[in-house]
Amino acid sequence: MDTAEVRRRFIAHFEARGHQAVPSASLLLDDPNLLFVNAGMVPFKPYFLGQVTPSYNRAVSIQKCVRTPDIEDVGKTTRHGTFFEMCGNFSFGDYFKEGAIEYAWELVTGSVDRGGFGFEESKLYPSVYEDDPEAVELWRKVTGLPDERIVRLGKKENYWSMGVPGPGGPCSEILIDRGPAYGADGDFGAEDRYLEFWNLVFMQDELSAVRSKEDFDIAGSLPKKNIDTGMGLERVALLLQGKDNMYEIDVMFPVIEKAQELTGRRYGKDHDDDVRFRVVADHIRSSMMLIADGVTPGNEARGYVLRRLLRRAVRSMRLLGCEDRVLPELMPVSRDKMGESYTALHSDWERISTVAFAEEDAFRQTLRTGTSIFDLAAQEAKAGGQTSLSGSKAFALHDTYGFPIDLTLEMAAEQGLQVDEGEFRRLMTEQRERAKADARAKKGQHASGGAYRTVADELGRAVQFTGYDEVVTEARVGGLIDAGGASVRSVGEGSEVELVLDRTPFYAEGGGQLADQGVVELGNGARVEILDVQSPITGLIVHQARVLSGEVTVGEPAHASVDIERRRSISRAHTATHMVHKAFREALGETATQAGSENAPGRFRFDFSATGAVPQSAMVDVEARVNDLVLADLAVHAEIMTQDEARKSGAMALFGEKYGDQVRVISVGDWARELCGGTHAGRSGQLGVIKLLGESSIGSGVRRVEALVGGDAYRFLAREHVLVAQLSEALKARPEELPERVNDLVERLRAAEKEIEKVRMAQILSAAGELAAGAKDVFGVGFVGHRVDGANAGDVRKLALDIRGRMAAGRPGVVAIIGSSNGKPAVVVTVNDEGRSWGISANALVKVAAQALGGSGGGKDDVAQGGGADLTHVDQALVDVEHAVGRAATAR
């Protein structure tokens, strides 16, 4: 049974039993605790937490998931990968344990002819939480299985929670016995033998404290009992297809087959190669699905994970022996298999492939650059008598150049060097901690979410956002979180606090739009300045604030006022972003899809997919197009509709954004239409003018345009006008003649610089003949040691080689020249053929000079160069080289 059929049967089974089929949510959700959706229930969390009331009591979904903590272990086990699909059926206060068990057992054991999976009952073992006798009785009742076939397990295996205070409950798994070849009889801890493929979570408890998976407090029962099911699609597929592991199922193994064709290696012959083949199959699929949901390669957070996955896939293919471009060969194979279920992989393939292939090209260049840098670092380590490459060097290669640590380790071993992995790991850990701290600072200081949930529970409902219709709102203080992360009842003057109102006009940062700022005045006379606004958990809007005067108390009435000028300025920028997005798609094609944005007061930046730099002509056309539509004064209006209605209307949904069943569509006239939750200008004419400042690359296949709007754009253009007038006056030329006049001046200046350089080099080299003729005799070796101030490394090299060429033939000769440029010395040592026949090496001599100068150097026996940091020891360095020449000559 192929994977698509497993999926179809799961959905059909539960639809026939009254469940609403819900499409998979994006892998990206606005949750401070999650980088990606990592479980099938994640999109339904607001329902389980009581923050949002669902429009249905039963649901079924096949949810895309990505888990990243163990990327380096992918392929080493046969059942874990980064991307996977979780089949789930959910009950929100409807059926509970008995219904969940019945539905699961019917599908799992039902005959294939009647839409079931057809698993043999004799191989199945339900597991239950050891303190849940009710579940034991229900399994007996529903299945008729004897007691010894129902396995009791502890909290670690069979109790579920989110890891934080909130809903939880015992769970019940369905295990399948794969036979003695996979482990001992009755050893239910051996997951290969008794493979779990279905998990029923009986969400019935309210947890007040969660200290670990097995250590928590139960405060009481939930007001509504819920069901959360997770069935691993890949695990069921491998069982029904008779495969040993998930990498061999129909949606993954074709990539391995293609990789075998490209590399000439065979899967199943060598363990290390098998791991690499699995890494390729997993990472190709995971990367493709992440790009499809709007992630682009980068150096932070989600972008870094994607970059790492793509580069590990390319690196694994290189280790398998293929050094050509591989993504154009492998990714279409994965697309064709996954595209059976996710048709957008085909319709959006041009954008997806552009991003992926550009990242591979960038990584190939990184490998070339990183290899050169590694070679230099290894050379320096060996020259210094070291047997190990420092962890800081390995970290710099990884962090700055994207050079994989496993490649550094491999190349170091080839050079007979070790790598200080301890230091490397420490630096990596410090970097991760800094990144986490930055994320916490951005989303609020308490990313664990415990304090937020406490406030949300006390509030009892989602915070109402009134900012679409008003900028002043009467509200009530619903919660306070102090600087230490605790929910408190009051705070005093001067305090930094996170303030929650029951309703607010302040827009929380999201969708690229910066947060509102303003003031909240309380009924007791207290005054609070709003500095930032975030939505750390669904349904909660949190104002990061400073108490200017008085005392702020929970329950106090509040008068909330948005900074209206800031709001208007940001709203104009947001509307301009929509217009520029549409204009770029018209100019460059449908692949120019937004990949990020920031809408700030009076300015915005807009990131979009592109294969290369945007032609200047396209920039001019886009700017003209949007400003024509500004002049047209188009109405900007918002509509609420279903997602299907929005798609039919031509509205564009941005990848990575979270949209509900009901969506808000912003239209600029009948021209630009997008799903958007932000605030906007009332008409395009209110934007005044849009000025594109320029575009640049911010990553593989992603360009960034920065622009000004309204008054900021006008002031910029006014400054430009003044500058043009000043240049026209200085050059005595009309404005339209300035480009030609400036170009002429630049060409003349370049010609003059070349002439000056020729004269300078002639002056430097003019002394070559005299220096060669005056070579000092050092035990039979002609030696020239000379200092040239104001000469860079290139100048020094030319002079040293010129002097060597002028020295008397048939006599050993050594030239050592030290120049100085920008306050630092540069040294070059050359030795002629006769000198090398005497055993004199430029490589050895340059190290003598560099040591005196406080630096390092190296090269070949005939020419070597180096540098240093101490100009005060130039004369001593020349003396040291002369002495070294003497020692070499007398030792001959």
Of 562, 587, 606, the residue at which a domain comes to its end is 562
Ligand-binding annotation for 676, yes or no, is: yes
Ligand-binding annotation for 398, yes or no, is: no
Inter-CA distances, 106 with 109, 444, 611, Å: 6, 46, 51
pLDDT of residue 32: 61
Domain identity same for 419 and 482: no
User: Which pair of structure tokens corresponds to residue 478?
Assistant: 């619903």
Q: Which CATH number is 698's domain given?
A: 3.30.980.10
Q: Is 25 helix (H, G, I), strand (E, B) or coil?
A: coil
Domain identity same for 366 and 302: yes
pLDDT of residue 700: 67
Quick check: is 451 in a domain?
Answer: no
Quick check: is 452 in a domain?
Answer: no
Domain identity same for 536 and 608: no
User: Which segments of 111-165 are extended strands (E)?
Assistant: 124-129, 151-153, 159-161
Amino acid at 656: G
Residue written as tokens 């190990």?
Answer: 388
> How do the residues of the chain divide into helix, strand and coil, expressed in percent and rounded to 5?
45, 25, 30
Overall domain count for the chain: 6
> Could you read off the pLDDT of 327-357 as tens digits, one per residue?
999 999 999 999 989 998 998 898 899 889 9
DSSP states along 683-710: BGGGG--EEEEEEEEEETTEEEEEEEET
Domain identity same for 223 and 263: no
| Domain ranges, residue 577 | 567-718
Domain identity same for 864 and 806: yes
Of 377, 407, 438, the residue at which a domain comes to its end is 438
Quick check: is 202 in a domain?
Answer: yes
Domain identity same for 714 and 780: no
pLDDT of residue 659: 54
Ligand-binding annotation for 543, yes or no, is: no
Of 689, 718, 747, the residue at which a domain comes to its end is 718
Quick check: is 476 in a domain?
Answer: yes
Ligand-binding annotation for 87, yes or no, is: no
pLDDT of residue 701: 73
Nearby residues of 763 by Cβ (< 8 Å), 6 or more positions away: none
Quick check: is 443 in a domain?
Answer: no
Q: Which CATH number is 791's domain given?
A: 3.10.310.40
Quick check: is 37 in a domain?
Answer: yes
Domain identity same for 277 and 332: yes
- Tell me the C-alpha distance between 775 and 841, whole Å: 18
pLDDT of residue 447: 41
Residue 808 DSSP code: P
Domain identity same for 754 and 772: no
- Tell me the C-alpha distance between 798 and 690, whole Å: 53
User: Which pair of structure tokens corresponds to residue 836?
Assistant: 């090398």
pLDDT of residue 440: 55
User: Which pair of structure tokens corresponds to residue 357?
Assistant: 């292939």
Q: Which residues of the chain have pLDDT under 50?
A: 443-448, 656
DSSP states along 502-530: SEE-PPPSBTTBPPP-EEEEETTS-EEEE
Domain identity same for 604 and 638: yes
Domain identity same for 195 and 326: no
> Could you read off the pLDDT of 266-285 as tens digits, one per residue?
999 999 899 999 999 999 99
Q: Which own/partner pairs from 688-692 qualify as long-range (CB within 8 Å, at least 24 positions apart)?
A: 688/572, 688/630, 688/713, 688/714, 689/627, 689/630, 689/713, 689/714, 689/717, 690/576, 690/579, 690/580, 690/623, 690/626, 690/627, 690/630, 691/623, 691/716, 691/717, 692/580, 692/619, 692/622, 692/623
Amino acid at 403: F
Q: Which CATH number is 190's domain given?
A: 3.30.930.10
Domain identity same for 263 and 370: yes
User: Which pair of structure tokens corresponds to residue 485?
Assistant: 């992360």
Helices (DSSP H) in 389-492: which residue ranges? Answer: 391-401, 405-414, 421-443, 450-459
Quick check: is 248 in a domain?
Answer: no
DSSP states along 612-667: SPPPHHHHHHHHHHHHHHHHTT-BEEEEEEEHHHHHHTTPBPPTT----SEEEEEE
Domain identity same for 48 and 153: yes
Residue written as tokens 């969390």?
Answer: 45
Contact between 541 and 463 (Cβ < 8 Å): yes
Quick check: is 131 in a domain?
Answer: yes
